[in-house]
Amino acid sequence: MTYQQRSTFTNNPTAKKLFELMDSKQTNLAIAADVTTKAEILKIAQELGSEICVLKTHIDIIVDFDQELTKELRELADKHNFLIFEDRKFADIGNTVQYQYRDGIYHIVEWADITNAHIVPGQGVIEGLKEVGLPKGRGLLLLAEMSSAENLAVGDYTQKAIEWAQKYDDFVIGFIGMKKLIDNPKFIVMTPGVKLAAGTDNLKQQYNTPEKVISGGSDVIIVGRGIYKAEDPQAEAKKYREAGWEAYKKRN
């Protein structure tokens, strides 16, 4: 099924928008913009915006963060037609994650289309985030699997994530996973740990190629250092975009 066709299976507005823009823009590339200054992240959003479906942020690593930044990122997202995914990995009781999602200095729910959560606290983490995010049409990804070596998100844990995603499918739009996890077209799988050359880093990150990830049934490749550390990030982003899209076309 095409991304466009899959958009009709979900009622979540963010999931719909993502499927539609991936198809119209012809990209399944997300960039992990793991840089530490406003200037750097804005440069990435500006220069790579036309190549990507999703800009993934770690907003709490920006040393000169201010409210202007999220406003500007939002403007760039609307201008270049990509979604913003704050990779916050919420992991507390429902009441606490509500504060973390809505309040503090980041007000994540105000500007991030998508965020994600560990399921280790149980279903309360999903319910808490949903009360804050769903009225704004936001979407949540559950961490069903991770990319790092020897991580514990395997087996029954992964199965629980799949079960709870179906239970809360108005708000949970899919997973962080390494492959296709469930035969239901409404759920999106995004995969980190992607590089044109498979391998590892020195801190137990594990990389697969775009071809392997997409042919395995994942929908979005998340690429960080493979792009932003390259000499010419724009040219590199085009390569990843093409590799991801070719693999998708081959699959369909």
Residue 38 beta carbon to ligand 5BU: minimum distance, rounded to whole angstroms: 17
Strands (E), the chain: 29-32, 54-57, 83-90, 114-117, 139-143, 172-176, 188-191, 199-200, 206-207, 220-223
Of 148 and 184, the one with the shorter C-beta distance to ligand 5BU is 148
Q: Residue 58 CB: number of other CB atoms within 10 A? A: 17
Of 52 and 222, the one with the shorter C-beta distance to ligand 5BU is 222
Regarding 94 and contact with ligand 5BU (CB under 6 A), the answer is no
Residue 252 beta carbon to ligand 5BU: minimum distance, rounded to whole angstroms: 25
Residue 2 beta carbon to ligand 5BU: minimum distance, rounded to whole angstroms: 26
Catalytic, 89? Answer yes
Residue 56 CB partners (closer than 8 Å, separation 6+): 30, 31, 32, 33, 85, 86, 87, 222, 224
CA atoms within 13 A on the CB side of 5: 5
Catalytic residue among 89, 179, 180, 212: 89
- Residue 227: closest CA among 47, 26, 18, 23: 47
Residue 4 beta carbon to ligand 5BU: minimum distance, rounded to whole angstroms: 26
Query: Which residues in the 206-225 window bind ligand 5BU by CB under 6 A?
Result: 222-225
Regarding 204 and contact with ligand 5BU (CB under 6 A), the answer is no
- For 172-188, b/e burial (b = at least 16 CB within 10 A) is bbbbbbbbbbbeebbbb
Regarding 146 and contact with ligand 5BU (CB under 6 A), the answer is yes
Residue 109 beta carbon to ligand 5BU: minimum distance, rounded to whole angstroms: 19
Regarding 69 and contact with ligand 5BU (CB under 6 A), the answer is no
Name the segment binding ligand 5BU (CB under 6 A); options: 1-9, 65-73, 98-106, 139-147.
139-147
Of 16 and 241, the one with the shorter C-beta distance to ligand 5BU is 241
- For 121-148, b/e burial (b = at least 16 CB within 10 A) is beeebbebbbebbbeeebbbbbbbbbbe
Catalytically active residues are 89
Provide the binding-site residues for ligand 5BU, judged by CB under 6 A. 32, 34, 58, 87, 143, 146-148, 176, 192-193, 205, 222-226
